[in-house]
Structures are given as C-alpha cells and as structure tokens.
Structure 1
Amino acid sequence: MDTIPFTPRRFQTAAAHYLQGRPAYAASLFPRIARLCGLGHGHRVMDLGCGPGQIAVALAPFAGEVVGVDPEPEMLAIAAETASRAGVPVQFRQGSSYDLGPDFGRFHLVAMGRSFHWMDRVETLRRFDGMVDPGGAVVLLHDDHPKVPDNRWVKPYRDLIERYAEGDSARAMVRSPGWLSHTAVLLDSPFSRLEEIAVIERRHIPADTLVHRALSMSGTAPGRIGDNADALIAEIEVLMSEFVAGGMVAEVVTSSALIARRPDNA
C-alpha cells in the first residue's frame, strides 16, 4: 500500500492559520466518544498528530492523562497555549507515528484527527496493537460538508484550492483512485470492529476564516506557494463575496468519529 513520504516540517507555515481556519469538531461529539469507549479518569489518551491540540484538549476532561504528539514544533507551541487557555492538563511531545514504541506507555484510547493519512497506516495500527489496552479503541475524527444549500460555495472553493495546490504529490496520492480509505485499512487491521457516530451543525463563520483555512493546508501553506499566497487570498475574497452576508458565511459541518476496536472486545 502506498504511504506518503514523511516530511516532518510540512505544516510549519500552516500552523499559525490552523485554529482560525479549520472547522472545529462538534463539542457534543466528545462526551459520546468517551461514553462509547468507556473512557474514565483512570485512563490515558493519546492524540497522535495533534496539531494545535483541539482533540487532546476536548478529551482531557474525560481522561486521567492526555498526551499530544506532533512532529511540528510550531503546532506544539500553539497546542500548549490552547491547553493553557482551556485550563486542562495535557502533555505535549514532539514526535510522529514513526517514533511509537514502548517508551510511550499504554493507552485506553488513541485519537487522530486530520493526520492518519500522513502515516504508514498499516504499521501504525500494528504498533497500536501493542500499546492500546484490552477493551481500548482507536478513534479517527473527520469533518466534512454535506450537500445542502448553505454549502453551495464549498465545491468552487475546493476547486480553487486544488488549482493552487497543483504539483503537491502528497495531495495527489490521497486523491488517486488507488488510495485505500481509512475504513478499508482498519477492516484489515487488529482494530476491525467499527462504529461511526456523527454530529451535523449549521454555523456562521467570519469570511476571513476561509483565507486561514486555505493557508492552513499543507498544499497551499504560505511556505509552499510563496508569492502566490496573495493571489490565492484575492481569489478567495472574490469567490466568497457572493456568499457573504454581514461579514459572515454560512456552512453546515458534519463532525464524525470512526471508532475502531479489536473484534474480541464484544
């Protein structure tokens, strides 16, 4: 199976835009994850590829210890600030899926947001099998935009992003016909018993959120597109002018969690 080559600093210049740009996962999703996974204050949680720490911070109230792991120092600095503002204790550690081993200890739950596709997914799940407690789970969080009238701007916006991200081999790999879905990978892993939950919310976001969203993506991060960043911003502003009302844009976001357990955890 194809694996994207590991580039530790891929999100260095995207980090500053991530929290402002990316859709937040629905807050109501996390109590449900905790309940379904039997997460309690005696348990450890890992947020692997934690970025600026949204998942780690959101799960901290339900766990005894949370560890956020990411290869990008800029992301970890923002994550530490995020946890401090939220007043929750989270440990952050620089590293990646390629560093996983016994020194991390054991966990009841390992969560990943927009990070699993950057890893050697088969090898990562194999390592998790030696780190996740019996009865524990691997959880993949995802966000998407359902096809509803409020989201009529999403396709032209994505098309614009794709044009500026042209030549990004990692992006092309994930979008190729031969790329296996996370579900397919999980079904052939030690964590093959799957359950999915989702929350759908209508939101209104400041128009400049979509500028930050574009710049938070590795394919269109400022460090990758350089002088083209100004042109991208200008095109986003023109495109979204049709959809802005009172400085805000409506969007409907689906926040989902794919919960994967071992088949013998009945």
Structure 2
Amino acid sequence: MQVDFGRTSTDYVQHRAGFPEAFFKRLDREGLLRPGLRVVDLGTGTGTVARGLAQRGARVTGLDISAEMLDAARELATEAKLRIDFRRARAEDTGLPSGAFDLVVAGQCWHWFDRPAAAREAIRLLVPGGRLVIAHFDWLPLPGNVVEATEWLISCFNPGPSASVAPLSQSSGVYPPWFRDVAEAGFTQLESFSFDVSVPYSHRAWRGRIRASAKVGASMPPETVARFDAVLAQLLTESFPADPLGIPHRVFALLATRP
C-alpha cells in the first residue's frame, strides 16, 4: 500500500484534531516542558504537536517529508501567530546538528519510520540528558462501537496488507516494540504513560477524519474514496444515528533519556 498523506492534507487539517490538551499538561507534569526548550518534532504533519509545544514557549523545528503537509503546517502556525521552523526532511536523516536539542518528539508517526535509524538519529540530536517522546493518540475499536464498524468498512474497501500499519482490528493504542527500539539505540530511563479520552465527532467530521486516514484518502484512488465515504455516511445514519458521536481514544507516550 502506497501512502501519501499529502493527498488528503485538506481533510487532515480540518478533521484530525491532534493530541488533546491533557497530553501537553501531562508532559508539563513530567518536567518535559519549559520556555526556550529546543525541540525537534519528527513527522510533524500539519504541525499539531509543534504548535502545542510552541504555545508553551518551546523553540520548535518541525520535520516532514510531505511538502503539502508542511505547507498546511506553516499556514496554521501563521494563523496562530507562532514561529516554528518547518523543514522537509526524513526522521532518519534530519540534517540537523548533533547535540543541539533538548527534546525530540514523534507524535502519531513512529510506525512510518525506519525505527532503529530514527532512534539513532534522535539520540544524535539530543544533548546529554535530553528526552525523546514517542506518542500516539489512537481511536479504540470496541465490540459494537462505531470505530469497529468503520474499521470493518475500511477493510472491505482496502483489504491489502501494509508493512507500515498494524492490522486495524488489533489496535490497542499501546506500543511495546517501541521500548526495544529506543533501548537498542542507547536510551535509558524508559517510562510510559497512557490515558483514555472521549472525543466528540459530528457525522460529517467523523467521515472527514476517516478520509484523512492512511488506508482511505492517503492510499485509495479518489473515486474509491468517494464511494467509501457515501457508504460510511449511510452506515452512520442507519446504525449510529447519535450526532455527535463519542469516539473513545487512548493517549500513549514512551519517554526515554539520552545518557
């Protein structure tokens, strides 16, 4: 499956809300945030994590391989009156100076990288004592809920496997393999946290959120996306008429330290 999030950048901007406020508050409680913090946001996408950190006084460099996503990120940062240095670069080879950053963050993207190479690059970028945060914000498919039904529909339209995306139905929102990735790169003091939140979505917004997914708008042909969206709209009307929907999500974060 060839995935290009630039193909769905409009839906991504409008309907992928990004990490909740509670995530940034938790990072603050963990002692990870302070004014002037030098941060690299890997796989920044439309810059949701980068903006959240910049709003708290961090000096953020956001990296992504998609020019379309970076254009959207710059526009959103300008609208928010935030100064963020967005650059086109790979997480595995950033081109940034060694030992120049206090924090490296990868939000909702670690699975897309060459993970061992990205972990080695992260430890190169950090000062001694610098921290790496790998975070996810995943919806939760539970028996009979709208997420489970939506994932089933996605699989009907796009059943092909992907080496980069775990099977949707197996998603628990927790990522044990990431611990080995960072430990083998030399990180220490590994910790993690997780918590659940419910996110309200109107039917229209949920359809947009799903179009902005890897196995829908980022990989299906446009005509297939349109057919899928029509079937999803019918499914919501007939089986999940509540509007807005309450979509359960899990925040997960792995914290690691460069010795």
TM-score by length of 2: 0.85
- Say what the alpha-carbon RMSD is for the aligned residues: 2.8
Query: Structure 1, residues 11-58: CA drift from partner, whole Å, max 9, x if none?
Result: 121211113333531112113213424432232101110000000000
The CA deviation at 1:220 is 1.4
Q: 1:193 to 1:67 in 2, by over 3 A?
A: same
Q: 2:250 aligns with which of 228, 246, 254?
A: 254
Write the distance in 2 (CA, Å) between the matches of 1:216 and 1:76: 16
Hey, what does 1:84 align to over in structure 2? 78
Report whether the alignment pairs 1:100 with 2:94. yes
The counterpart of 2:159, out of the listed 154, 157, 166, is 166
Relative to structure 1, is the Cα distance of residues 229 and 96 closer, same or farther in structure 2, using a 3 angstrom cutoff?
Answer: same
Task: Please report how far the alpha carbon of residue 118 of structure 1 lies from its aligned counterpart in structure 2 after TM superposition.
Answer: 1.2
Select the residue among 173, 179, 182 that pairs with 1:183: 179
The 1-side partners of 2:198 and 2:18 are apart by: 12
The separation in 1 between residues aligned to 2:85 and 2:234, in whole angstroms, is 42
Shift of the alpha carbon at 1:121?
A: 0.8
Alpha-carbon offset, residue 104 of structure 1? 7.2
**1:254 offset after TM fit, Å?**
2.1
State the alpha-carbon separation in 2 of the partners of residues 60 and 163 from structure 1: 40
Give the Cα separation in 1 of the matches to 2:44 and 2:24.
Answer: 15
Aligned residues: 253
Q: Which residue of 1 aligns with 2:206?
A: 210
Secondary structure of the residue aligned to 1:122 is helix
Q: Post-superposition shift, 1:101? A: 3.5
| Cross-structure match for 1:10 | 4
Counterparts of 1:77 and 1:90 in 2: how far apart (Å)?
Answer: 12
Looking at structure 1, the residues matched to 89 and 95 of structure 2 have their Cα atoms a distance apart, in angstroms, of 11
CA contact (8 A) 2:98 2:126 kept: no
1:41 aligns with 2:35: yes
The residue aligned with 2:233 is 237
- Could you tell me which residue of structure 2 aligns to residue 154 of structure 1? 147
Given the two structures, how large is their TM-score scaled by the length of structure 1? 0.83
Shift of 1:161: 1.4
Return the alpha-carbon distance in structure 2 between the equivalents of residues 148 and 167 of structure 1.
Answer: 22
Q: Does 1:193 align with 2:189?
A: yes
Pair 102,222 (structure 1): closer, same or farther in 2 beyond 3 Å:
closer
Q: CA deviation at 1:162?
A: 2.3
1:121-167 per-position Cα deviation (integer Å, ceiling 9, x unaligned): 10111122221111111111211345668x81111111211222223
Query: What per-residue deviation string (whole Å, max 9, x for no partner) do you get for residues 234-259 of structure 1?
Result: 111122122232x3211222223221
Moved more, 91-100 or 71-80: 91-100
Asked if 1 retains the 8 angstrom alpha-carbon contact of 2:123 and 2:185, the reply is: no
Deviation readout 1:165-204 (Å, 9 max, x if unpaired): 22353456x4499x98323323333224322223432232
Secondary structure of the corresponding residue to residue 130 of structure 1:
helix
Work out whether residues 201 and 254 of structure 1, in 8 Å CA contact, stay in contact via their aligned partners in 2: yes
Percent of residue pairs bearing the same amino acid type: 27
The aligned amino acid for 1:253 is H
The structural deviation recorded for 1:210 is: 2.0
Alpha carbons of structure 1 residues 235 and 171: separation in structure 2 relative to 1, 3 Å: farther
Q: Which amino acid aligns with 2:46?
A: P
Q: Deviations over 1:69-96 (max 9, x none)?
A: 1111111111112212222221111111
5+ residue gaps, structure 2: none
Amino acid in the other structure paired with 1:129 = I
Alpha-carbon separation, structure 2, partners of 1:152 and 1:175: 17
* 3-state DSSP of counterpart to 2:232: helix
Tell me the residue number matched to 2:118: 124
Determine the C-alpha separation between the residues in 2 that align with 1:118 and 1:223: 14
Q: Are 1:60 and 2:54 counterparts?
A: yes
Worse-matched range after superposition: 218-227 or 137-146? 218-227
CA distance in 1, matches of 2:209, 2:36: 36
SS in 1 for 2:220: helix
Distance 1:32 1:91 in 2: 24
What SS is found at the alignment partner of 1:77? helix
